[in-house]
Amino acid sequence: MFNKTGFENIIWDFLFTYRQFLLNGYLHKRVNHEAYEKNPATWNTLLLSLEAGTLLGLAKLLERNKDFGRRFDKEELNTISDKIMKIRNTHMAHNDLSKKTQPNFISTRKPINGFGYYIYV
Protein backbone atom coordinates (compact mmCIF):
# COMPACT_ATOMS: atom_id res chain seq x y z
CA MET A 1 0.00 0.00 0.00
CA PHE A 2 1.02 3.63 0.14
CA ASN A 3 1.26 6.40 2.67
CA LYS A 4 -0.63 9.69 2.66
CA THR A 5 1.86 11.39 0.32
CA GLY A 6 1.75 8.45 -2.10
CA PHE A 7 -2.04 8.58 -2.15
CA GLU A 8 -2.01 12.35 -2.78
CA ASN A 9 0.41 11.83 -5.66
CA ILE A 10 -1.92 9.29 -7.25
CA ILE A 11 -4.84 11.71 -6.95
CA TRP A 12 -2.85 14.59 -8.46
CA ASP A 13 -1.64 12.33 -11.31
CA PHE A 14 -5.23 11.30 -11.96
CA LEU A 15 -6.51 14.90 -11.94
CA PHE A 16 -3.73 16.07 -14.27
CA THR A 17 -4.45 13.22 -16.69
CA TYR A 18 -8.18 13.91 -16.53
CA ARG A 19 -7.64 17.62 -17.31
CA GLN A 20 -5.47 16.68 -20.30
CA PHE A 21 -8.20 14.32 -21.48
CA LEU A 22 -10.91 17.00 -21.19
CA LEU A 23 -8.79 19.71 -22.82
CA ASN A 24 -7.89 17.39 -25.70
CA GLY A 25 -11.55 16.56 -26.30
CA TYR A 26 -12.60 20.21 -26.09
CA LEU A 27 -9.91 21.41 -28.51
CA HIS A 28 -10.39 18.48 -30.88
CA LYS A 29 -13.98 19.60 -31.45
CA ARG A 30 -12.58 22.82 -32.93
CA VAL A 31 -10.44 21.16 -35.61
CA ASN A 32 -12.63 22.63 -38.35
CA HIS A 33 -12.44 26.13 -36.85
CA GLU A 34 -10.76 29.02 -38.64
CA ALA A 35 -8.00 29.17 -36.00
CA TYR A 36 -7.04 25.57 -36.76
CA GLU A 37 -7.08 26.16 -40.50
CA LYS A 38 -4.68 29.11 -40.13
CA ASN A 39 -2.03 27.13 -38.26
CA PRO A 40 -2.62 23.36 -38.36
CA ALA A 41 1.00 22.49 -37.44
CA THR A 42 0.70 24.22 -34.07
CA TRP A 43 -2.72 22.72 -33.37
CA ASN A 44 -1.60 19.22 -34.40
CA THR A 45 1.40 19.49 -32.07
CA LEU A 46 -0.79 20.66 -29.20
CA LEU A 47 -3.48 18.04 -29.72
CA LEU A 48 -1.04 15.17 -30.19
CA SER A 49 0.86 16.24 -27.06
CA LEU A 50 -2.35 16.28 -25.03
CA GLU A 51 -3.34 12.91 -26.44
CA ALA A 52 0.04 11.37 -25.64
CA GLY A 53 -0.03 12.89 -22.16
CA THR A 54 -3.46 11.42 -21.50
CA LEU A 55 -2.42 8.01 -22.73
CA LEU A 56 0.80 7.99 -20.72
CA GLY A 57 -0.98 9.30 -17.64
CA LEU A 58 -3.62 6.58 -17.79
CA ALA A 59 -0.98 3.93 -18.30
CA LYS A 60 1.02 5.28 -15.37
CA LEU A 61 -2.03 5.03 -13.12
CA LEU A 62 -2.94 1.56 -14.37
CA GLU A 63 0.58 0.30 -13.76
CA ARG A 64 0.16 1.17 -10.09
CA ASN A 65 -2.26 -1.72 -9.49
CA LYS A 66 0.22 -3.13 -6.96
CA ASP A 67 -0.43 -0.06 -4.80
CA PHE A 68 -4.04 -1.12 -4.65
CA GLY A 69 -3.16 -4.77 -4.08
CA ARG A 70 -5.08 -6.15 -7.07
CA ARG A 71 -6.54 -5.54 -10.49
CA PHE A 72 -10.14 -4.45 -10.97
CA ASP A 73 -13.04 -6.51 -9.61
CA LYS A 74 -14.84 -6.51 -12.96
CA GLU A 75 -13.30 -8.28 -15.92
CA GLU A 76 -14.69 -5.58 -18.24
CA LEU A 77 -12.51 -2.98 -16.49
CA ASN A 78 -9.49 -5.28 -16.71
CA THR A 79 -10.11 -5.63 -20.45
CA ILE A 80 -10.29 -1.84 -20.89
CA SER A 81 -7.12 -1.48 -18.81
CA ASP A 82 -5.33 -4.02 -21.00
CA LYS A 83 -6.47 -2.19 -24.15
CA ILE A 84 -5.15 1.12 -22.82
CA MET A 85 -1.79 -0.48 -22.06
CA LYS A 86 -1.64 -2.00 -25.56
CA ILE A 87 -2.46 1.38 -27.14
CA ARG A 88 0.25 3.00 -25.01
CA ASN A 89 2.80 0.38 -26.05
CA THR A 90 1.86 0.75 -29.71
CA HIS A 91 1.99 4.54 -29.44
CA MET A 92 5.46 4.41 -27.93
CA ALA A 93 6.75 1.85 -30.43
CA HIS A 94 5.22 3.35 -33.57
CA ASN A 95 5.30 7.09 -33.13
CA ASP A 96 5.22 7.74 -36.88
CA LEU A 97 5.90 11.42 -37.42
CA SER A 98 5.52 11.15 -41.21
CA LYS A 99 1.74 10.65 -40.85
CA LYS A 100 1.44 13.42 -38.31
CA THR A 101 2.79 16.05 -40.70
CA GLN A 102 0.16 15.36 -43.36
CA PRO A 103 -2.52 18.04 -43.86
CA ASN A 104 -5.74 17.40 -41.93
CA PHE A 105 -4.12 14.58 -39.92
CA ILE A 106 -6.04 15.46 -36.76
CA SER A 107 -9.41 15.63 -38.51
CA THR A 108 -9.01 11.99 -39.65
CA ARG A 109 -8.77 10.66 -36.09
CA LYS A 110 -11.77 8.83 -34.65
CA PRO A 111 -12.93 8.27 -31.04
CA ILE A 112 -12.34 4.84 -29.52
CA ASN A 113 -15.50 3.27 -28.10
CA GLY A 114 -16.94 6.69 -27.31
CA PHE A 115 -14.20 7.41 -24.74
CA GLY A 116 -13.23 10.61 -26.55
CA TYR A 117 -9.68 9.39 -27.08
CA TYR A 118 -8.68 9.81 -30.71
CA ILE A 119 -6.40 7.65 -32.82
CA TYR A 120 -5.55 7.54 -36.49
CA VAL A 121 -7.69 4.96 -38.29
Tell me the per-residue pLDDT of 56-103, one tens digit each, with 9 for 90 and over: 888 888 887 666 656 788 889 888 888 888 887 776 665 555 555 555
Tell me the per-residue pLDDT of 69-82, one tens digit each, with 9 for 90 and over: 567 888 898 888 88
CB 53 within 8 A of CB 17: yes
Domain limits of the chain? 4-120
> Which phi and psi angles does 20 have, rounded to 5°?
-60, -45
> Which phi and psi angles does 3 have, rounded to 5°?
-85, -175
